[in-house]
Amino acid sequence: MNKLEDIVSLCKRRGFIFPGSDIYGGMAGTWDFGPLGVTLKKNLMDAWWKFFVEDRNDMYGIDAAILMNPRTWVASGHTATFADPLVECKECKSRFRADKIADGISESVTTEEFLATHTKCPVCGKENWGPIRKFNMMFSTHVGAVLPDDDQELMSKNIAYLRPETAQGIFTNYKNVVDTFYPNLPFGLAQQGKAFRNEISPRDFILRDRECSQMEIEYFVAPDTWEDNFEKMRTLQHDFLTNICGLHAENIHELEVPAEDRAHYSKRTIDFMFDYPNGKEELMGLAYRTDFDLANIARESGKSMEYRDKITGETFIPHVIEPSIGVERLFLAVLATAYTEEDIDGEKRTILKLPENLSPYKFCVSPLLKNKPELVEKAHEVYDKLKNKYTFVTWDDSGNIGKRYRKQDEIGTPKCVVVDFDTLSDDTVTVRDRDTTKQIRVKISDL
């Protein structure tokens, strides 16, 4: 097994991530977070929120609706351009994203360019392709009382999309926030939430899924200050990824995205690439979106998006720096960094060396033996005390102590606390460290 398979297997075995709708045979491109996964995911999202919103004076939070007026997506350009190149094999009718099955071509590949790569169908091995067609990745639905046999006009009038990004929920609230909070420039609006993309071929575990969680900031700046603010945002992203999430700096690579590959709205984009177990993949993006979005909203809505400088009185549409990160991508980067196998006296030990602030549990408490009532009672006392103080504490009295340690190592619990017979006489416990396996005696009152 390669490392990604090991991680997928651990995620399922220990209750971090299960395949979506597993019981009915699954649902491609969806994943369910189990009890430990949801805690780790929440810890990541909370850490991001604290770092980028709560600890700063220039950030405001937003939580916009997932269903938005479809004019949003006309203004943003998604209706026209949020599409992947779809190609169909005429032999077996399989459909693929052209730029993912052929080397050296981009998302804007033409039929001629694709045919020139002489790619064989990954399913049947033949080379007989239809033309490249643009496939819009937005999920559509109908809002209100619409029946399947209603006429096309009524159907299309009531169409709505599951938002393909959280960003537009921020841009459409820019004016609301300016009119209610009168923030000074530069200021940022941050949002976390679900976004949906109908990927042609979801793959690579949670890296390319159809439903994901995003964490995005739109940082509004005076137009002539964008470069300076871009640099500041860039440094902040590295701080967050390494100091808060525990990623290693040498595994993060900045990729300056060339003009032809940039999203339609961006004048400069840096993709932060990460060394995932199966190769380099995008972890997050930092984009300079100019005034593209606010100017489009002004045009589509007929409302002014201008900002008036409080000192000079000058009015202009702010420009925007956007750091955008997918929670699942970050989740996998954190797991890949933490996942460690060690060989101890010929026996394999699997450890998740998660940073303490992210671990689902901070402590595991157990009695040395579960059939000694006096040990169990004392251990419960210690458990209650720690649970009150640290919240994220688990109890384990299954199997023998060695098995418990191995389980806690696998789910990343930094400290295991064991109550034994000495505890009854001197009120000390054994505290065992996940990374070093070293054990020390600590007074219960010092925990």
The residues that touch Zn ion, with contacts defined as CB under 5 A, are 89, 91-92, 94, 121, 123-124
- Distance of alpha carbon 372 from alpha carbon 351, whole angstroms: 30
Closest CA to 159 of 248, 69, 244, 85: 69
Structural contact between residues 200 and 135, judged by C-beta atoms closer than 8 angstroms = yes
- Position 153, amino acid: E
Report in angstroms how near the CB of residue 104 gets to Zn ion at its nearest. Answer: 21
Sheet of strand 159-162: strand arrangement: 67-68, 159-162, 140-142
Report in angstroms how near the CB of residue 101 gets to Zn ion at its nearest. Answer: 11
Nearer to Zn ion, 65 or 123 (CB): 123
Instruction: Tell me which DSSP letter residue 144 carries.
Output: S
Nearer to Zn ion, 126 or 264 (CB): 126
Nearer to Zn ion, 123 or 159 (CB): 123
Report in angstroms how near the CB of residue 201 gets to Zn ion at its nearest. Answer: 13
Structural tokens at position 234:
């860039």
- Distance of alpha carbon 92 from alpha carbon 129, whole angstroms: 10
- Distance of alpha carbon 240 from alpha carbon 245, whole angstroms: 6
Nearer to Zn ion, 115 or 442 (CB): 115
SS3 category, 83: strand
Report in angstroms how near the CB of residue 94 gets to Zn ion at its nearest. Answer: 5
Report in angstroms how near the CB of residue 91 gets to Zn ion at its nearest. Answer: 5
- Distance of alpha carbon 306 from alpha carbon 195, whole angstroms: 28
- Position 259, amino acid: A
Per-residue b or e along 225-242, where b marks 16 or more CB atoms closer than 10 Å to that residue's CB: ebeebbeebeebbeebbe
Nearer to Zn ion, 94 or 430 (CB): 94
The partner residues of 366 in beta bridges, in order of sequence, read: 418
Report in angstroms how near the CB of residue 130 gets to Zn ion at its nearest. Answer: 11
Closest CA to 164 of 220, 212, 200, 98: 212
Nearer to Zn ion, 91 or 410 (CB): 91
> Which residues fall within 8 angstroms of residue 438, CB to CB, at 6 or more apart?
432
- C-alpha dihedral sign at 102, 105, 111, 112: negative
Nearer to Zn ion, 102 or 217 (CB): 102
Helix %, strand %, coil % of the chain (to 5) = 35, 30, 35
Nearer to Zn ion, 129 or 187 (CB): 129
Nearer to Zn ion, 6 or 91 (CB): 91
Report in angstroms how near the CB of residue 86 gets to Zn ion at its nearest. Answer: 14
Bridge pairing between strands 187-196 and 59-62: parallel
Bridge pairing between strands 319-326 and 347-352: unpaired
- Distance of alpha carbon 431 from alpha carbon 408, whole angstroms: 13
Report in angstroms how near the CB of residue 418 gets to Zn ion at its nearest. Answer: 58
Report in angstroms how near the CB of residue 132 gets to Zn ion at its nearest. Answer: 16
Report in angstroms how near the CB of residue 123 gets to Zn ion at its nearest. Answer: 5
Structural tokens at position 236:
């902040």
